[in-house]
Amino acid sequence: MCYNIKNKLKAAALREKYKAMADEALDKINYYHVSGFDHPQLPVLAQGHKNEFQLYYWGLIPSWCPDEAKARELSNVALNAKSETIFEKPMFRDAIIRKRCILPVTGFYEWREENKIKYPYFIYPKTDELFTMGCISDTWADRQTGEVLNTFSIVTTEANSVMALIHNKKKRMPLLLDDAGWEKWLDNSALNDEIKSLMTPAPDEWLGYHTISKTISRKNMDTNYAGIEDEVKYPELENRLF
List per-block mean pLDDT (blocks of 10 residues) for the chain, which spans 242 residues: 94 95 92 97 95 97 96 96 97 97 98 95 94 98 93 98 96 98 97 98 97 95 97 86 54
Rounded to whole angstroms, how far apart are CA atoms 135 and 126?
A: 21
How does pLDDT run across 46-92, given as a tens digit for each residue? Answer: 999 989 999 999 999 999 999 999 999 999 999 999 999 999 999 99
Rounded to whole angstroms, how far apart are CA atoms 242 and 229?
A: 19
Domains in the chain, start-ordered, CATH in brackets? 4-110+129-205 (3.90.1680.10)
* Contact status, residue 54 vs residue 46, Cβ threshold 8 Å: yes
Rounded to whole angstroms, how far apart are CA atoms 109 and 210?
A: 10
Report the DSSP beta bridge partners of residue 173: 157
| Kind of pairing between the strands at 54-58 and 148-158 | parallel
* Contact status, residue 52 vs residue 11, Cβ threshold 8 Å: no
* Contact status, residue 136 vs residue 86, Cβ threshold 8 Å: yes
Please tell me the predicted confidence (pLDDT) of residue 241. Answer: 52
* Contact status, residue 129 vs residue 106, Cβ threshold 8 Å: yes
How does pLDDT run across 206-229, given as a tens digit for each residue? Answer: 999 999 999 999 988 999 999 999
φ and ψ of 240, to 5 deg: -90, 165
